[in-house]
Structure 1
Amino acid sequence: MKTKLILLYVLLSAVVFSVNAEVKLPKIFSSNMVLQQGIEIPVWGWATPGEEISVSLLEQRVETNGNTGMMSTVMLSTSETTADSDGKWIAKLPAQKYGGPFTLMIKGKNTISLTNVMIGEVWVCSGQSNMEWPLAQVKNADEEVAAAKHSNIRLFTVPRKVAQFAEEDMESGEWLECTPQTAHNFSAVGYFFGKALQEELDVPIGLIHSSWGGTVAETWTSSQTIQNDPDFREPMIELQQMNLEEYRKNKEAEIRKILGGKIPTEDEGMQNGEPVWSDPELNDTDWSKIIAPGLWEEQGYIDIDGVGWYRKAIDLTEDQTQTNLNLHLGKIDDSDITFLNGIEIGKTENQYDKERVYTIDKKYLNPGKNMIVVRVNDTGGGGGIWGDPEDQYVAIGQEKIDISGDWKFKISKAVMQDIDLGPNSYPTLLFNGMINPIVPFGIKGVIWYQGESNASRAKQYQRVFPNLINDWRKQWNQGDFPFLYVQLANYMKPAQKPTESEWAELREAQTMTLDLPNTGMASAIDIGEADDIHPRNKQDVGKRLALNAIKVAYNKDIVYTGPTFESVEFKDGKAYITFSETGSGLAVKDKYGYVKAFTIAGADREFYWAKAEIINKNTVVVYSYAVTNPVAVRFGWADNPDDLNLYNLELLPANPFRTDDWPGITK
């Protein structure tokens, strides 16, 4: 028996050694990939310590001999290296010109051959949900998906991963040729950017998509940079010292306490498919109170996704029951089924930012008590009835009954997706899990669409965002590669009077980041949607990013951005604004020639809507009869400056700005 055990141990050791001896590549290398043109091409992986590795780029050529063609393999370049004491190795192939398809061969004790490899332009596409938004959900989606046939565009999607420490590889991933099937769920902004770039350059394009909706910039930044940030250093240290198993146990205990000792795993409000908690006579005396609108996480139900039920009774007079009414619930994150007096009167699936308005037939109304019940299913992030209190009411003709405020509430099913670390739980988590595994893959640059989740901390973003860009450039060690980003789109209800704005301050922070070399900003200020944080027009976003790339990355002399504030002169009670980047000249989208979206203020810092006129190719005069001695001007300074209509003749919108430096409202 002892001899057999020893033999088994030897055999198992041999198997382990054999596995360890294999040359391995990270997932970012696969057939169908694009390698960056014009730079040394880094290729890395793992092998047995001390193992000699060769990396070669091969091309299949047909050589004509008389009337026949012979296929031969030509080695374009090769590089040799040796695995270090940890089994890691890296080789660098000499810079290559555009072309393909090629074969990349890695040889050690075993051989790996990757085929259909192209040499072209590689871009990383990163950020939050507007970068993550898939092609299948854009404007004219069916037509766009059907047309996504581009053999010279290659797509790679980095799987979502939160990591306590920097990961060396991903769990999955492969390069795919762009087809309707592969582009369907790929980043729409990334796709339209790549498509426009491919049309302009006529070279292979590789797109590496690594994004996660609802995430903050600091989670995408490495520990080397975060350790020097005064706001994030301590949380990062806490993360690195954390025992994740203990963290999970403590989280589960906290959630049990919040839910009264029990974590329901099935929806208790539904029995045999029937909504028993919609019963208007249900005894809900043991239910908790909650304020609506307001996400439930903000009211004590921290880190709990799943299903929650809301109940609220309203009283109606006999006269009020004689007509149909409209129930305005505000927004619901993510899905809802809504009942009145036990009758389902409406439902909406997976549209967390859509206003819920349901018409209720008068036949379901009762004089006296009427019970509104809302079943909410939250699939992740914030959950519940949210929005503005003024958007939550019952409309009976011209009469409104306010239903905001106290509701009864109970969680019927708890999904503890965040019992593990969420992407925003600590800084560095997504850099560790979703960026480090692709470093130092050769790239041309980065496109970025993020900022919504940092809007309440726009002042801080003035530091955090440039730090992220510098951090990535340091990690890749490719110099100041192009970093192009999207300025936040217009969103939310247009303001009825001049006001402060978190989103305007975030846009200002993005504009300030243009001080970094080789950066570019694509404006989306005119293509947003008031009631949807995910505007469906991703086509223009991708095209505007591509214009920035053509100018910043490829040095072509084009008009790539809209009019940008350059200077202001106050004279005779008016403000004269001079713009750069006016292209062929300033233009206004208004048949009467009125320029909108300007406000003006005197020394009292009270802003008023202003009149504005284009007076020459690059100057606008701004004034208001309410401000006789102006000292400050703002343009597009709102969450949603929906009437903004100043462009250059190339139809790129003017960039929002302010001339003052008065304190804002963000941290």
Structure 2
Amino acid sequence: MIRLQSFYIVFGKVFLSICLAALPLVNISAKVVLPSIFGDNMVLQQNREVKISGMTEPGRKVKMCVAWSKESQTLKADKSGNFQFKMQTPSAGGPYEITFDDGDIVVLENILIGEVWLCSGQSNMQMPVRGQLNQPVIGSNRIIAQADPQIPIRMFTVEKATAKSPVTDCIGSWVENASVHVAEFSAVGYFFGQYLQRQLKVPVGLIHTSWGASNIQAWMSEESLRGIPEINLDHLTSDVETKLLPQQLPCLLHNAMIYPLKDYAIRGVIWYQGESNVQNPELYGKLFPAFVTDLRSTFAQGDFPFYYAQIAPFPLTKFESARLREVQMRCMRDISRSGMAVLMDIGEQKCIHPSRKMEVGERLAYWALGDTYGKKGFAYASPEYDSMKVVKDKVRLSFKNDELGLTSYYKELKNFEIAGEDKVFYPAKAYIMKRENKVYVEVGSQAVTNPVAVRYAFKSFAVGDLFGVTGLPVSSFRTDDWGPEN
């Protein structure tokens, strides 16, 4: 029996990726060849009908046996050599084997059944657990040293690639929870998966596909971007000169780094991106919900959960990242089954990559545990500004998701500003108050006697100092809708 050893995996799958990218319908003589996402060490989504596709000689019969079932399936490859099996997975468990027999035998080994999540975005999702040159991830060395292959977390990283049209394979391989692999994997993705695995006590599979400095339109399909006048798609049909990086050209990452994964069953998606779209927040407000709709359409697995990290504060112009954070907050209402992890307290003034990646992963995991898996007794949504009321020369701000109230951890609140009808903002004094079992923030300044608007941390960089009692930070916000010049 021929087993799928590591050399064959790498050689065969790289070869397949090149062939499929150049010409999707290719004859491959004998022996089953699978896209790289289906391989040794993978985690399949539990209690789900999953698909496994591959190629063999055109018209050849292929038999598939799975170790968790006594039944086998046999089908015939089409005239191009393609086949696709569908099978029902059991509840979490393993390890298992899957055997393919088309005259030669190929075996996938060490397969687990559990929960599978896609992790995507730009550099803050890409940043590995070990950190990068002069940019640390807090706690990374301890986490890497403690990695244990016996703890059922499996990881797959999609190698960076671009394509002008969708391709059906990518380069990557599933790896176990060993120190050498954890060090190189997405920090946010790993911390998210580690937290889920500890709480759910099932295997967790993490598929990481991200690229630093990428904008959101690079991750979207051509179909989803047609008709949006701000998006130019000429590069898809001709060679045009551009100053943009490859990862900033519309559709190229979707085609090469999302589309090849579309048949793989997932529970949901976590996303950390937005820094490359800060120059046009309003366009991002249109693209972001369209991106999630497009992603769900590509995977064709229903409205799976989509949880994302709000970009952390970092210095740009006065308001750029604040306006992008505002749009991300608004998009929670526009995107079904979504949730946002607020990061107002972890920004770095001298680096766009916060070192506290563990908090990001854990806050995304709170959303998954509470919203997807139905666990109770803890908070996962940050308190959110709800409404304002002017009382004499003060403004009272009310919040939602603040069942236990608000806190500054007994420190002075320094991020509030207040303005009158002249739209000039002044630093304000702010206090957390309680009246008739309702908690609110009262804001005022001697410089503004007739206030009409309040802002909290509404700057590109600010260190958040307002939290829910649960410890989740409040997003920056404003009560006005004045233009960019204000």
Partners of 2:207 and 2:433 in 1: CA distance: 45
CA distance in 1, matches of 2:111, 2:287: 36
The answer on 1:485 being equivalent to 2:291 is no
Secondary structure of 2:432's aligned partner: strand
Q: Say if 1:598 and 1:609, in contact at 8 Å, map to a contact too.
A: yes
Equivalent in the alignment of 2:46: 37
Are residues 610 and 90 of structure 1, via their aligned partners in 2, closer, same or farther at CA, if it must alter by over 3 Å?
same
- Determine the structure 1 residue equivalent to 2:355: 536
Shift of 1:502: 0.6
Contact 2:58/2:79 (8 A) holds in 1: yes
Give the match's secondary structure for 1:641: coil
Contact 1:500 1:665 in 2 (8 A): no
Say whether 1:661 aligns with 2:481: yes
State the distance in 1 between where 2:70 and 2:478 align.
Answer: 54
* 1:265-664 map, 5 Å: 422-424=246-248, 426-492=249-315, 500-515=318-333, 516-557=335-376, 558-591=378-411, 594-616=412-434, 617-642=438-463, 644-664=464-484
AA aligned opposite 1:559? A
Q: Partner of 2:116 in structure 1? A: 122
**Do structure 1's residue 239 and structure 2's residue 245 form an aligned pair?**
no
Q: Does structure 2 retain, via aligned residues, the 8 Å contact 1:502–1:665? A: no
Paired amino acid for 2:451: P
Once the two structures are superposed, the pairs formed by residues 13-24 of structure 1 within 5 Å of their partners are 19-24=28-33
How far does the alpha carbon of each residue in 1:101-137 deviate from its partner, in whole angstroms, 9 at most, with x for none?
A: 1112233343321111000111111111111111112
Determine whether 1:92 maps to 2:91.
Answer: no
Aligned-pair CA distance for 1:85: 3.6
User: 1:465: how far off?
Assistant: 1.1
Q: Distance in 1 between matches of 2:73 and 2:344?
A: 48
Distance 1:490 1:76 in 2: 55
Partner amino acid, structure 2, of 1:453: S
Structure 1 residues 77 and 610: alpha-carbon distance in aligned structure 2, compared to 1, 3 A threshold: farther
**AA in 2 matched with 1:482:** P
CA distance in 1, matches of 2:88, 2:485: 51
**Is this contact kept in 2: 1:55–1:93, CA < 8 A?**
no
CA deviation after TM superposition for structure 1 residue 79, in Å = 4.2
Q: Which runs of 5+ in 1 are unaligned?
A: 1-16, 60-74, 252-301, 304-380, 382-421, 494-498
The aligned residue for residue 7 of structure 2 is none
Task: Write out per-residue CA displacement over residues 423-476 of structure 1, whole angstroms, 9 at most, x where no aligned residue.
Answer: 21x200011111111112000111111101101111110011111111100111
State the partner residue of 1:153: 153
TM-score (norm 2): 0.88
TM-score scaled by length of structure 1: 0.65
User: Which structure has the bigger radius of gyration?
Assistant: 1
Q: What is the match of residue 62 of structure 2?
A: 53
1:25 equivalenced with 2:34 (yes/no)? yes
What does residue range 93-112 of structure 1 map to in structure 2 within 5 Å?
93-112=87-106
After superposing the two structures, state which structure 1 stretch, 626-635 or 49-58, moved more. 49-58
Contact (CA 8 Å) 1:559, 1:583: kept in 2 or not? no
- Residues 647 and 653 in structure 1, CA contact (< 8 A), matched pair in contact too: yes
Q: Return closer, same or farther for 1:201/1:53 CA change in 2, 3 Å cut-off.
A: same
- Counterpart of 2:173, as a letter, is E
Query: 2:134 — aligned with what?
Result: none
Name 2:190's counterpart in structure 1: 191
Cα-to-partner distance string for 1:306-333 (whole Å, 9 max, x where unaligned): xxxxxxxxxxxxxxxxxxxxxxxxxxxx
Structure 2 letter corresponding to 1:100: G
Question: How many percent identity over aligned positions?
Answer: 39
Give distance in 2, aligned partners of 1:186 and 1:447.
Answer: 15
1:67-117 per-residue CA deviation (whole Å, 9 max, x = no partner) reads xxxxxxxx3554444433433222211142111111122333433211110
Given residue 433 of structure 1, which amino acid in structure 2 is its aligned partner?
A: A
CA deviation map 1:616-657 (0-9, x unaligned): 253111222222222222112011112x21111111111211
**1:501·1:665 contact (CA, 8 Å) conserved in 2?**
no
Alpha-carbon spacing, 1:80–1:540, altered in 2? closer, same or farther (3 Å): same
1:583 shift after superposition: 4.0
1:77–1:93 CA contact under 8 A, matched in 2: no
Which blocks of at least 5 consecutive residues in structure 2 are unaligned? Answer: 1-25, 132-136
* Matching residue's letter, 1:663: G
* Structure-1 separation of matches of 2:100 and 2:443: 65
For the Cα contact (< 8 Å) 1:489–1:528, is it kept in 2? yes
Contact 2:313 2:322 in 1 (8 A): no
Q: What letter corresponds to residue 374 of structure 2 in structure 1?
A: N
Q: Which residue of the partner structure matches residue 180 of structure 2?
A: 181
State the secondary structure of the residue aligned to 1:135: coil
Q: Taking structure 1 as reference, are residues 456 and 92 closer, same or farther at Cα in structure 2, changes over 3 Å only? A: same
Distance in 1, Cα, partners of 2:260 & 2:205: 17
* Separation (CA, whole Å) in 2 of partners of 1:611 and 1:222: 48
Measure, in 2, the Cα distance between the counterparts of 1:157 and 1:665.
42
For this pair of structures, how many residues does the alignment match?
450
RMSD: 2.1
Residue type matched to 1:91 in 2?
F
Secondary structure at the aligned position of 2:247 is classed as: coil
Aligned to 1:412: none
Aligned to 2:23: none
Q: Which residue of structure 2 aligns with residue 6 of structure 1? A: none
How much does 1:51 deviate?
3.3
Residues 77/581 of structure 1: CA separation in 2 closer, same or farther (3 Å cut): farther
CA displacement, residues 315-365 of structure 1 (integer Å, 9 cap, x when unaligned): xxxxxxxxxxxxxxxxxxxxxxxxxxxxxxxxxxxxxxxxxxxxxxxxxxx
Following the alignment from structure 1 to structure 2, what is the Cα–Cα distance between the partners of residues 610 and 503? 22
